[in-house]
Structure 1
Amino acid sequence: MQKDKKLIVYDIFFLIISLYFALLLRFDFSIPPEYMIFLKLSIIPVVVITLIFNKIFNLYNSIWKYASVEELVSIVYSVSLANLIFIIYSYLINYKFLENRYYRFPYTVHIIFWILSVLALGGIRFIYRLSEDSKGEYKSSKDKRLLIVGAGDASAMLIREIKKHKNFNYNIIGLIDDDRSKKKKLINGIKVLGGRDQIQRICREANIEEIIIAMPSADIKTKRKIINICKTTKCKLKTLPGIYEMIDGNVSISKLRDVNIEDLLGREEVKLNNENINRYIKGKVIVVTGGGGSIGSELCRQIARFEPKLLLIFDIYENNVYDVQMELNYKYPKLNKKIIIGSIRDVDRLTDIFEKYRPQVVFHAAAHKHVPLMENNPAEAVKNNIIGTYNVLKCCNKFNVEKFVQISTDKAVNPTNVMGASKRFCEIMVQAFDEASKTEYVAVRFGNVLGSNGSVIPLFKKQIAHGGPVTVTHPEINRFFMTIPEAAQLVIQAGAIAHGGEIFVLDMGKPVKIVDLAKDLITLSGYEPGVDIKIKYTGLRPGEKLYEELLMNEVALTSTEHDKIFVEKPNKIDINFVEKSIEDFKKVVNGDKEQIIKLIEEKVPTYKRKKYQKDE
């Protein structure tokens, strides 16, 4: 408030000086006496009129150190309108004060006054801004030496913020941009030093400690290439999220975050056919089983965007589903939802829910998914993954659900473990029920999800935080990866294009070596792999494949209307086979472990136990 008052005083002073100098320049520094009288009569009206317009254009609500081109435009508007009113004033008001002698300022005085006023009012604001910027330019030897990649609008904004706020503790050494026309040019006083091919040399020669990648509008492929170069410098890496990730679209240093593994492995944002999705979700009652898990919770977030009539979030673990509830309460306060605690093993509980709410679409994400744990506990895999899924399928048929979408896995393809075999049998059941029911039953198969519960990423991060070693089962083991939002979006999209009986296969891109993943995480954490953090090979675990497959080898995939979704030709499977198999599973599920595994082998022909596997 004190600075606003001071600014008003400065404006009054410079307006008076500008008007006086306008007359001096117009009359060659010899102002006629009658114009001096008119000047005295005009000073107060001119100042008052201009201050009123300055207030209208918020020139006293702005913070000095953030004075910008927009404020200069406001000054031009304010002074222009004030001059126009002053011209009208000179015609209509002052006549009676001059003994019926009519005087007015020549038009050239108004033009000169307009120019001087804009320069004066704009000048004091920008002089203040320059003085504030210069205050922030002092950097101590303790400030981190910073290189910014990108020389666009985002970088310009970051530079301004860093200069204004000493607490950021950055000394900006330069900018990197592949646009050759920008080389050696200055952006807010910082020079563009070269293109991406110069990053390693500049970091080495200028002792760069931190790199900020300020390219929010760049595509994933470009960002990944830049990050791969930057990570070889051993500098700390930060980045701005992509424009589509920022809710308000504003670029700010507060949005900076550490570069993570998703930046290296993530792909372009999924383009959804919202019209198709709306058709089967909007205004419908939707159930998500396993709604508190990694995939289930993301399905709930994505489904909420399409305005279902009611979203039922079903899960056995109340802590996770509570977190999802709180998040949805905040992000989608108008969403009609209910949290239901229960197990898919409990057929009576499922029946009550389906009878009460009559769901139209079911996304089935509830499952045991940990390969080694299920290898040692096959009965639980059968109870939950097979019999539990059967219970859901039966309820969908009984209560005339329109569409059922099963979350499957690449481990169901030619499975070598109990978990994968149990999920493969779920796919068999889906296709059998589709043949026997009016409900459209489909399965969606994809690989590992980055950051999901139990995935290698959280494990590696914990191991790095403890100083290592990072454990990898085999130097050649690889996996397909996608992000949680991408997986959930493609599952929903697959459901939109399904007609029943299909097994959809998501485009997972290229497989990634787990050891490369570990090295990248170590590097992104600021350490050198093998030096600061060791990598230890522990050997393949029971049931674990060296390479995962996404499709049955003998079945060709067909493309769909979505470029990231493919489909296997539906197989006709007799529902009687499924019913008989479920009875057989129920008979052995509480018995001998070897007996259970042999029955799984019988029911899932593609399941091949590894020779080294032995019961514990």
Structure 2
Amino acid sequence: MTISVLQFLVGLERRRKVGLVLLLDTVVVALSLYVAIALRISTFDLGIYWSGFFTSAVGVCLLAGIGSVVMSIPWVSMRAFGMHGVFRLGVFAFALGVAFFCFNLWGPWLVPRSAPLIMIPVLLVGLVGVRLASGHLLDRWFRQSGQDRVLIYGAGAAGLQLANALHNFDGADAIAFIDDNPSLRRVLVGALRVYGPSQIDRLIQARGITQIILAMPSASRARKQEILRSLSDYPVTLRTLPHFLNFMTGEPLTAQLQSVTSEDLLGRSPQSLDMPEIEAAYAGRNVLVTGAGGSIGSELCLQLSSAPVARLVLLDHSEVALYDIERRLRANRVSCEIVPILASVLEKDVLKQALKKHEVTVVLHAAAYKHVPLVEHNEVVGARNNAIGTYATAEACAETGVERFILISTDKAVRPTNVMGATKRFAEMLVQDLQTRHANTVFSMVRFGNVLDSSGSVIPLFREQLSKGGPLTVTHPEVTRFFMTLGEAARLVLLAGTFAKGGEVYVLDMGEPVKIVDLARNMIRICGLTERTGNNPDGDIALEFVGLRPGEKLYEELLIGANQIATPHAKIMCARETCLDAGESADALNRLIAAVERQDAQAIRNLFLETVDGYTNGAST
């Protein structure tokens, strides 16, 4: 109940928040006046002063409201309330008390003459107390809605400063310190307790730790590497806090690489994630996400849980991935019911049972093999999972009465030169055909490009290569890709799914394509390093061009044809694209199933050549 009220209050418009603070302060002023009179006459029964109290309370409250606005009291942040705020409230309380004292002294004698002066400290305590209590509750709410829970390795000055910084940061919550010094065990540093390294595993399990930050900037590089090696086996993200001198001298940070944000690498401002339409469309629904443990699948789950949906069904064939996303969701203390299902999208009976049992109304199909070179050499497995698995999932939805099915597709489905892209376009056509035969389920597809920091992105590869001192490998100097952050992609996918009437392909506006070589150079620069070139032989990191991989394009496209239709959101386009008719679709699906059963990779490629517009059988272009 408290969390719901706080969530409502946090979501109010600024002017409504200001009005609420004014109302709260007015109540505090009236109560402070009452307490001041009661203290003066040593009883809470005001007796002959009741009439004076009510009369003066009206005037004082009106004066307080005017003075509060003039001094900008309602605009002082409760979460960041500090000594400046206390001083401002002190001036406000003193001015109000003195003004009331003068009026009561020289005007009609309404209350005991010293009561207005007694009111000053009472009012100050009340105003400060309300703000401290409100700030504490808001802080707790923001922390419960955050994603990262942090252990700080190092209980020294740097660690304490980091803990203080995280205190005012919504995205992470410092849980405890880790330190090698036995004399610090169980000691409280600030508000956090210090534990030994042997307690890390227990803390991760018991407290839902997602990150460990090494806050020992003065330690030697060898010591840092030793600590990081000892932490590398834990299922958490590792971060390091660099020494201040590294920023001043430009010392390479290769061995103590910090995380580079997706926004930094994107080279543009990310799209706004404030989309109330999503909460309105998904809140209270039962939603199933396939490939829930993957990059885009897990982000969809996190976004849906914050709507929040009523029940979130996680389906993935990877035990490790499924465990990880379930743990992340439970660590976030989400309010929706979480149901993990370990299964493949090819298991249609399992899917139908799950859809019925959990009364699923919306399915987001993110399960896919998406690594182009791997699928290029494993055509049979790729076709089975991406095409046949998608059809099995979509048909299960139609047969169980699911309201909406949303296929997460890719820009590689547009005139594909690789098997992965061909399987995704083939899957799109199968879903479009299903729509013509099942009007009770709304089928749609959302197509977009690369997602920064996903498992298939170059960013994790570049990070690994940077940590080893390079070189960064780029396929071709001119290769370009569309990029979007995970948060942007997930929110726009969810929004696009609400627009569908049946059979549409939605395309996300991902801005201008980005050269991969520029992305690599940007990453080197942001990490405080320099590129090693012929003109700069002493640089830190070299670039190496390794050539296009089988089936890889120099550039990607988002639309097959030129026709596109506007949608209610400027960053989402709708494409009405041609597809196979019912007979052609059934024949193509049967041929694909037969080829997969025979393990006939060439037959699969030939089928795609016949049915998928623009497929060029792996020619690099």
User: TM-score band (shorter)?
Assistant: 0.5 to 0.7
Structure 2 CA distance for aligned equivalents of residues 76 and 403 of structure 1? 56
Structure 2 CA distance for aligned equivalents of residues 462 and 612 of structure 1? 27
Structure 2 CA distance for aligned equivalents of residues 259 and 544 of structure 1? 26
Residues 206-252 of structure 1: per-residue CA shift (max 9 Å, x gap): x99649xxxxxxxxxxxxxxxxxxxxx96999xxxxxxxxxxxxxxx
What residue identity is the alignment partner of 1:582?
A: L
1:470 to 472, 476, 480: 472
Structure 2 CA distance for aligned equivalents of residues 333 and 427 of structure 1? 33
Structure 2 CA distance for aligned equivalents of residues 260 and 374 of structure 1? 29
2:609 to 567, 579, 601: 601
1:412 is displaced (CA, Å) by: 0.3
Structure 2 CA distance for aligned equivalents of residues 605 and 79 of structure 1? 77
Q: Structure 1 residues 586, 210: closer, same or farther in 2, change over 3 A? A: same
| Residue 77 (structure 1) aligns with | 93
| 3-state secondary structure, aligned to 2:493 | helix
Q: Structure 1 residues 465, 501: closer, same or farther in 2, change over 3 A? A: same
| Residue 290 (structure 2) aligns with | 289
Structure 2 CA distance for aligned equivalents of residues 288 and 448 of structure 1? 20
What residue identity is the alignment partner of 1:323?
A: D
Structure 2 CA distance for aligned equivalents of residues 572 and 421 of structure 1? 14
2:330 aligned with 1:329, yes or no? yes
Structure 2 CA distance for aligned equivalents of residues 512 and 544 of structure 1? 16
Aligned residues with identical type, % of pairs: 40
Q: Structure 1 residues 412, 458: closer, same or farther in 2, change over 3 A? A: same
1:573 is displaced (CA, Å) by: 3.7
Q: Structure 1 residues 287, 576: closer, same or farther in 2, change over 3 A? A: farther
What residue identity is the alignment partner of 1:574?
A: D
Is the CA contact 2:260–2:527 (under 8 Å) kept in the aligned structure 1?
no
Is the CA contact 1:262–1:450 (under 8 Å) kept in the aligned structure 2?
no
Q: Structure 1 residues 402, 593: closer, same or farther in 2, change over 3 A? A: same
| Residue 562 (structure 1) aligns with | 569
Is the CA contact 1:405–1:443 (under 8 Å) kept in the aligned structure 2?
yes
| 3-state secondary structure, aligned to 2:375 | helix
Is the CA contact 2:551–2:619 (under 8 Å) kept in the aligned structure 1?
no
User: Once superposed, what is the RMSD of the aligned Cα atoms?
Assistant: 3.9
1:492 is displaced (CA, Å) by: 0.5
2:592 to 576, 585, 588: 585
Is the CA contact 2:417–2:620 (under 8 Å) kept in the aligned structure 1?
no
What residue identity is the alignment partner of 1:491?
A: V
Is the CA contact 1:478–1:511 (under 8 Å) kept in the aligned structure 2?
yes
Structure 1 CA distance for aligned equivalents of residues 405 and 502 of structure 2? 9
Structure 2 CA distance for aligned equivalents of residues 169 and 573 of structure 1? 61
1:383 is displaced (CA, Å) by: 0.8
What residue identity is the alignment partner of 2:599?
A: G
5+ residue gaps, structure 2: 1-38, 41-81, 106-112, 125-157, 159-168, 170-189, 191-214, 219-243, 533-538
1:325 is displaced (CA, Å) by: 1.5
Structure 1 CA distance for aligned equivalents of residues 92 and 304 of structure 2? 49
Q: Structure 1 residues 447, 595: closer, same or farther in 2, change over 3 A? A: same
Is the CA contact 2:551–2:620 (under 8 Å) kept in the aligned structure 1?
no
Residues 515-542 of structure 1: per-residue CA shift (max 9 Å, x gap): 0111111111121012210100100000
| 3-state secondary structure, aligned to 1:534 | strand
Q: Structure 1 residues 85, 479: closer, same or farther in 2, change over 3 A? A: same
| Residue 372 (structure 2) aligns with | 371
What residue identity is the alignment partner of 1:586?
A: I
Structure 2 CA distance for aligned equivalents of residues 405 and 591 of structure 1? 29
| Residue 533 (structure 1) aligns with | 541
| 3-state secondary structure, aligned to 1:607 | coil
Structure 2 CA distance for aligned equivalents of residues 612 and 264 of structure 1? 26
Is the CA contact 1:290–1:365 (under 8 Å) kept in the aligned structure 2?
yes
Residues 316-371 of structure 1: per-residue CA shift (max 9 Å, x gap): 11222222222222324321121111001122222221232231111000000000
| 3-state secondary structure, aligned to 1:429 | helix
Q: Structure 1 residues 511, 340: closer, same or farther in 2, change over 3 A? A: same
| Residue 31 (structure 1) aligns with | none
Is the CA contact 1:501–1:571 (under 8 Å) kept in the aligned structure 2?
no
2:568 aligned with 1:547, yes or no? no
Structure 2 CA distance for aligned equivalents of residues 448 and 306 of structure 1? 25
Structure 2 CA distance for aligned equivalents of residues 323 and 579 of structure 1? 38
Matches within 5 A, 1:80-479: 81=97, 210=247, 260-265=261-266, 266-270=268-272, 273-275=275-277, 277-278=278-279, 280-438=281-439, 439-479=441-481
Structure 1 CA distance for aligned equivalents of residues 100 and 279 of structure 2? 55
5+ residue gaps, structure 1: 1-47, 50-65, 90-104, 119-142, 144-153, 155-164, 171-206, 212-232, 238-256
| Residue 68 (structure 1) aligns with | 84
Q: Structure 1 residues 84, 479: closer, same or farther in 2, change over 3 A? A: closer
Is the CA contact 1:261–1:520 (under 8 Å) kept in the aligned structure 2?
no
1:476 is displaced (CA, Å) by: 0.5
1:79 is displaced (CA, Å) by: 9.3
Structure 2 CA distance for aligned equivalents of residues 287 and 570 of structure 1? 27
1:76 is displaced (CA, Å) by: 6.6
2:517 aligned with 1:508, yes or no? no
1:610 is displaced (CA, Å) by: 4.0
Structure 2 CA distance for aligned equivalents of residues 508 and 546 of structure 1? 17
What residue identity is the alignment partner of 1:359?
A: V
| Residue 26 (structure 1) aligns with | none
Which segment drifts farther, 469-478 or 333-342? 333-342
Work out the number of aligned pairs and report it: 408
Structure 1 CA distance for aligned equivalents of residues 558 and 456 of structure 2? 20
Q: Structure 1 residues 339, 446: closer, same or farther in 2, change over 3 A? A: same
TM-score by length of 1: 0.60
Matches within 5 A, 1:10-89: 67-68=83-84, 70-71=86-87, 73-74=89-90, 77=93, 81=97
Q: Structure 1 residues 468, 440: closer, same or farther in 2, change over 3 A? A: same
Structure 2 CA distance for aligned equivalents of residues 329 and 548 of structure 1? 37
Q: Structure 1 residues 88, 404: closer, same or farther in 2, change over 3 A? A: closer
Q: Structure 1 residues 445, 495: closer, same or farther in 2, change over 3 A? A: same
